[in-house]
Structure 1
Amino acid sequence: MKIGLIGFGKTGKAVASVLLQNKNFSLKWVMKRNHTLENRNTAEYLGIDSDETGRIYSSETTPIAELLDSQPVDVIIDFSSGTGIYTYGEAASKRKIKIISAISHYTKKEKDFIESLSKMTTVFWSPNITLGVNYLLFASKFLKKIAPWVDIEIIEEHFKGKDGISGTALKIAEALEVEKDEINSVRAGGIVGKHEVVFGFPFQTVRLVHESISREAFGSGVIFVAENLRDKKEGLFNFEDILTPYFAV
């Protein structure tokens, strides 16, 4: 499966590293905003022995439509910014290229836009694309269904520079009907990402915890999603759509 990666920050680099080391995927190119590292070889830059070069391009000098025509891919993975979808979404959807977005926050405008793109191609969006945290979300919903009266606390911890409440925490809160202002946020150096849901029962508690040890976890999640989207047609998908068949008993 041929992959194009949008965004090459800390998480984008970790995802590229995982893709380059997976023989079932071919990282054809990386697109970033500025000129830094332009025309460099991703594998060489990351110190990975790979047959795939993953050449780095700048959106300031290389039009995305031109890149998609000269180096076509099956899937575009987006780890850029909330507005990054506008730089490639239309061009990708017209070419029936699948889109996997791992952007934490979208406004209603962006959500409406990806909805329109999904009428032409396969679009997947998840605020957190790690498999573990989405399993936590599933398990939390099941426990809330069993005991709808239980007390619930949500705690999210991230690195110091992360702005706003975690998109994943907001998604968990929405699913469990917890108010946004009741989410507990911690920002401190050294933390990649941690989400905890505390269920308070009489005389006992249940804690469901997911912690990202390194950003490579996002790369593993991308691979899981891409593999499960392989045969999907047009439409907008999320992790629940992908995981639900695995829970059939």
Structure 2
Amino acid sequence: MKIGLIGFGKTGKSVASILLENKNFCLEWVLRQSTVLEHRSVPEFFGVHSDEPGLIYSSSKTTMQELLEKHPVDIIIDFSSNLGIYGYGEDAAKKEVKIISAISHYTDKELKLLKKLALKTTVFWSPNITLGVNYLLFAAKFLKKIAPWVDIEVNEEHFKLKQGTSGTAIKIAEALDVEKESINSVRAGGIVGKHEVIFGFPYQTVRLIHESISREAFGTGVIFVAENLIDKEKGLYNFEDILSPYFVV
């Protein structure tokens, strides 16, 4: 399966490294805003041997239309910014290229565009594309459904320089009907990211914890999503759509 990756920051690089390791996928190209590294290959950048082209292009010199004509792909993975969808969305949908977006924050305008694109191709969006976090979210919603009266606390811990409340923690809180203001945040040292949901039952406590060790977790999450999107029809999907069948007993 041929992959086009948009965004080559810290997370994009980690995702690219995981894609190169997986023989079921071929990283055809990377598109980024900067002209730095333009026309170099991703395998060369990492100093590894690979038969995958993985050429790096700059959006200031190459359009998405040109890329898809010369180097067609099956899936576009977006780790750029909330504005990235405007640069590739229409061209990808027109050619029925599947879209996997891992953008943390979209405005209502971008979400409306995703729904429009989903009429023409398969679109997946998750503000946090790690499998572990989404399993935690799914399991937490399942537990609350069993015991809607339970006391719930949401905690999140991140590196010292991270500003604002974690978007993932906010999503967890919204799913469990916990006030955003009630989220407990910790900023310290080199913590990559930790999310915890505490369920306070009478005489017992249940804790669901997810801790990120490195950004490569986003890469394994992308692969899981891509593998589960192969046979999906046109439409807009999220992690719950993909995980639900696994919970059928």
Which TM-score band (shorter chain)?
A: over 0.9
Q: Deviations over 1:123-145 (max 9, x none)?
A: 00001111111110111111111
Partner of 1:14: 14
Partner of 1:82: 82
- Find the aligned partners of 2:83 and 2:153 in 1 and give their Cα distance: 31
Partner of 1:50: 50
Kept in 2: contact 1:21–1:50 (CA 8 A): no
Q: Deviations over 1:207-239 (max 9, x none)?
A: 100011111111001001001000111100000
Calculate percent identity across the aligned residue pairs.
73
Query: What letter matches 1:181 in structure 2?
Result: E
Query: What letter matches 1:171 in structure 2?
Result: K
Query: What letter matches 2:68 in structure 1?
Result: L
Query: What letter matches 2:138 in structure 1?
Result: F
Q: Deviations over 1:38-96 (max 9, x none)?
A: 11110111122221130111101111111111100000000111111111111111110
Partner of 2:27: 27
Partner of 1:150: 150
1:62-101 alignment, distance < 5 Å:
62-101=62-101
What is the CA RMSD across the aligned residues, in angstroms? 1.1
Q: TM-score if structure 2 supplies the norm length?
A: 0.97
1:1-249 alignment, distance < 5 Å:
1-249=1-249
Query: What letter matches 2:9 in structure 1?
Result: G
Secondary structure, counterpart of 2:154 in structure 1: strand
- Find the aligned partners of 1:177 and 1:56 in 2 and give their Cα distance: 43
Q: TM-score if structure 1 supplies the norm length?
A: 0.97
Q: Deviations over 1:171-226 (max 9, x none)?
A: 21111011111112223341222111011122322110001111111100100100
CA 51–90 in structure 1, closer or farther in 2 if over 3 Å, else same: same
> Which ranges in structure 1 are unaligned for 5 or more consecutive residues?
none
- Find the aligned partners of 1:164 and 1:61 in 2 and give their Cα distance: 35
Secondary structure, counterpart of 2:49 in structure 1: coil
